[in-house]
Chain A
Amino acid sequence: MGVDLFEITVNLVKMIFIFVMMVNAVPLLVWVERRGSAFIQNRYGPNRVGPLGLVQLLADAVKFIFKEEFVPGKGHRLVFYLAPVVALIPGALAFAAIPLSMPIELGEFSQIPLGLFTIDLGETYGPYRFAFQGYEIGIGIVFVLGVSSLAAYALLMAGWGSANKYSLYGALRASAQTISYELALGLSLVGILLLFNTFNFKEIVEIQSQALTFSFLGSQMTVPYLPNWGIIYQPVGAIIFFAAMFAETNRLPFDLPEAEAELVAGYHTEYGGIKMNMFYIGEYGHMLVASALMVTFYFGGYTLYPFFTPETVNQFWSETMGLTGNPVALLSSLSLHLVFMVKLVIFLWVFIHVRWTLPRFRYDQLMDLGWKTMLPWALANTILTAVVILIMRAAWS
């Protein structure tokens, strides 16, 4: 694989584009959350600034930057300033590692056709292979799990740097909760690893883009018209994973860290303006990662068998639309990206709907649920998966 300036530029732009996409998704999600909660609670929500109140969040963002600077007198200044910066990192790094569509494989080209006219490049470029994600990492699952657990550091830094009792208690609660649910989260993925036999997201999605295929007592079975999705093999694992992800993002019903009736606002009591907003970017970024992981592990990623798989999309653009060469690769990758986005939006809405439906847990209930209910269930799920795989493959014969 040759590395030239064009390839490096495209990869850098792509990476920054995905990060900016994540940051820009936050105001949209906040708008959806406020409008959605308003409809759920039978009121209006933001509807004055711009059409449907869409410009409200832009106005908020500008207002946040022009707010007054504040650091508590007894606080640790460096830690206080660094905490919101650290809060941005886990979501951004994890989201860039998840494939948003299939890789674009470009052949050699020397000109760019743009409808009526073409740009002549003078020399031949290619062939290239661009992954539709920030970067490809072979051990994607381990990387995402490791990076997203860094979120606990931001919470602890915010709580310690504020020199405020409420902040400290909020941060302690948040970190204890995050690490407790990380056990169930990590264990629920062992079932997925047993099934798909790989750490690589792309390979997991490729396995799920086929018809339902499994070994039954040593012989191969195929069910047509049903996708080979993880949710069919791992329903319990999917529920545990999703619930643990709610706890990791510190959202209702697991938002004990900022239980406003007890702790004012938890770890960000002393924060205001853009610094508080950066914690929100971190939280919504984590939500995006959680939904993207849910789609990738259990719901076929960017494919939807039998309608949208790499083969059918390629066939549609080349045979039905009569295109050849690089446009086919670009358009089929973009169509699969659309499939991924639709699935992602569905899970983001589930996150928002749950927040405005369920009440908050008590702290002892929360810890009991994590350690005494979800951890044993995840353990049982792992053992059951291993036993079923052993029997279905008739390993003793």
Chain B
Amino acid sequence: MTELIPVFALTGFVILFGLALVFATSLLGPKTKQSKVKQLAYECGLEGEGADSTKVPVKFYLTAILFILFDIEIIFMYPWALAYKDFIATGRGLFIFSSMAVFLAIFIFGLFWEIRSKALEWE
């Protein structure tokens, strides 16, 4: 836990620095009159609808779900990779390789099934 203290300290410093920069503009910038037309979001001259009512393709949602699945599977490979040489040194190399091979077979099957089922097609 002690090694995380500097991380929190730096995070706090960066946030303070950022907030200072953001609010420096409201102090130093020119004070001009705001009007309703001026505050419209840029929309090629039309009145903007705002982000709340914009329809969004469901494809992005699907990509995010697939990302979570695959990312967790990849994270599981990190401790395996870290212990790999130690297992070989103690003569259990084939065991650790074959156990990951089973895991990877499921991973690869999932990836190719996903590609076959056209979950990743963007038109």
Q: Which residues of A contact B (CB under 8 A)?
A: 11-12, 15-16, 19, 65-75, 81, 84-86, 88-89, 92-93, 96, 134-138, 142, 159-160, 162-168, 172, 175-176, 179-180, 182-183, 186-187, 190, 193-194, 197-199, 264, 269-270, 273-275, 278, 363-364, 367-368, 371-372, 375-376, 379, 382-383, 386-387, 389-390, 393, 395-396
Contacts and interface: CB of A to CB of B under 8 A. Distances in A.
Contacts of B13: 15-16, 19
A270 B10 contact: no
A135 to B, nearest CB: 4
Interface string B16-49: 0111011011101110100010011111000011
Nearest to B87: A395
Main secondary structure of the interface of B (DSSP, over half): helix
A364 B84 CA distance: 37
12 contacts: A66-B28, A67-B29, A69-B26, A74-B48, A138-B3, A163-B48, A164-B41, A199-B82, A270-B42, A275-B25, A386-B84, A389-B84
A197 B83 CA distance: 7
B93 A390 contact: yes
A386 B60 CA distance: 34
Contacts of A67: 25, 29
A209 B24 CA distance: 46
Nearest to B100: A386
A9 B40 CA distance: 48
A165 B71 contact: no
A15 B6 contact: yes
Given A73-B36, A190-B77, A393 B63 contact: no
Contact of B123 (A66, A160, A273, A364): A364
Given A75-B41, A162-B51, A165-B43, 13 more contacts: A65-B28, A71-B39, A135-B3, A179-B67, A179-B71, A187-B77, A193-B82, A269-B42, A273-B29, A367-B63, A386-B97, A393-B85, A395-B97
B30 A68 contact: yes
A12 B54 contact: no
A167 B10 CA distance: 30
A384 to B, nearest CB: 12
Contacts of A159: 51
